[in-house]
Structure 1
Amino acid sequence: MSSSSESPQLPPTTAIAAKTGLKATTEKWFEYSVRVQPHHTDYAGAVWHGTYLTWMETARVEYLRSIGIDFAELVKLGCDLPVVELSIRYHRALRLGEMAIIKTRMDEMTGVKMYWDCRIESSEKQELCVTAKITIVAIDPEKGKIMRQLPPAVQDALVKSL
């Protein structure tokens, strides 16, 4: 007998097939700057690893806003874009007071599945600190299911930005 507290699981990203035939790629990077504040760091003054994830999410949301997709409005339309896969590599820690540039781009879009690249660099030292590959997929948050296609306005904005 299974527990009723178990939450439904999304299928692995390899099971998400493109249903619209839409496929696009880009080389353009969106840049977002941040200064390392005390609340971003651990007790040693180095950026805590989870902070990098927050910065990457903020940069993606700001990128979407810059092309005309307001995330709050997107959710009101019945479309959410959760991370379903993440690979991150830490090259060097950022320290308290340093400026960082978070660079993000949608590398590829296939149907409702989007692949993002992210780079976090020290702006003063011009050093690479973090690289990441992120996969997000459009879901209907009420149904908890993967959408068949993106809302047309969202799809148009993403294609135009590529």
Structure 2
Amino acid sequence: MSSQSQPQLPPNAAIAPEKILQATTEQWFEYAVRVQPHHTDYSGTVWHGTYLTWIEEARVEYLRSMGIDFAELVKLGFYLPVIELSLCYHHSIQLGQEAIIKTRINQITGVQMNFDCRMESPNTQECYVTGAVTLVAVDREKGKIMRHLPPTVRDALINLI
């Protein structure tokens, strides 16, 4: 055995990015919908897949309201796919009813963005669905998760904090 000491690795903080973006928002973004016939099953109850579509629409509009346009991200070579999704159905919504889809950023850590979502009656007396969605930044050309958020996304989110 050699008496030489092992080289010391730098602490994790020394190799971490200069600034890790971490954020949480308290304010909900609201997106209104009205149940149309094509949203429902044969009984006039909203089909479960429709809730996913509405959550996606609300989240995309929320990001657009912050200056993050999905079409522009794609043109720049990035996208933000859903990597995890969970929903809890509390009450069904019927044909002709209105609902408010609320979404907000729960947490941003590195290139991962976690969103909360809720669907409520317009008077907030009834909660229809609650859930969580996780996105991650991916480089389209390489097909790999990015090390950092695209500058367009990072800058818009920094303004949010």
TM-score by length of 2: 0.85
State whether structure 2 residue 143 is matched by structure 1 residue 137.
no
Secondary structure of the residue that 1:103 maps to in structure 2? Answer: strand
> Matches of 1:93 and 1:124 in 2, distance apart?
16
Superposition pairs for residues 147-162 of structure 1, below 5 Å? 147-162=146-161
Contact 2:73 2:79 in 1 (8 A): yes
Bigger-Rg structure (1/2): 2
**Aligned alpha-carbon RMSD (Å):** 1.5
Q: Which runs of 5+ in 1 are unaligned?
A: 1-17
> Matches of 1:124 and 1:26 in 2, distance apart?
23
2:69 alignment partner AA: D
Q: Which residue of 1 aligns with 2:120?
A: 121
Identify which range, 49-58 or 140-149, moves more after superposition: 140-149
Aligned residues: 145
State whether structure 2 residue 74 is matched by structure 1 residue 83.
no
1:96 alignment partner AA: L
Secondary structure of the residue that 2:23 maps to in structure 1? Answer: strand
> Matches of 2:76 and 2:27 in 1, distance apart?
27
Contact 2:58 2:101 in 1 (8 A): yes
Q: Which residue of 1 aligns with 2:27?
A: 28
Secondary structure of the residue that 2:43 maps to in structure 1? Answer: coil
Query: 1:125 deviation in Å?
Result: 6.5
State whether structure 2 residue 72 is matched by structure 1 residue 73.
yes
Q: Which residue of 2 aligns with 1:95?
A: 94
1:139 alignment partner AA: V
Query: 1:145 deviation in Å?
Result: 0.4
- Could you list the per-position Cα deviations for residues 137-158 of structure 1 after superposition, in whole angstroms to 9, with x for gaps in the alignment? 0101222100111122210101
Contact 2:34 2:99 in 1 (8 A): yes
Contact 1:98 1:124 in 2 (8 A): no
2:73 alignment partner AA: L
Q: Which runs of 5+ in 2 are unaligned?
A: 1-15
> Matches of 1:24 and 1:124 in 2, distance apart?
29
How many percent identity over aligned positions?
67
> Matches of 1:129 and 1:31 in 2, distance apart?
15
Contact 1:29 1:103 in 2 (8 A): yes
2:95 alignment partner AA: L
Secondary structure of the residue that 1:96 maps to in structure 2? Answer: coil
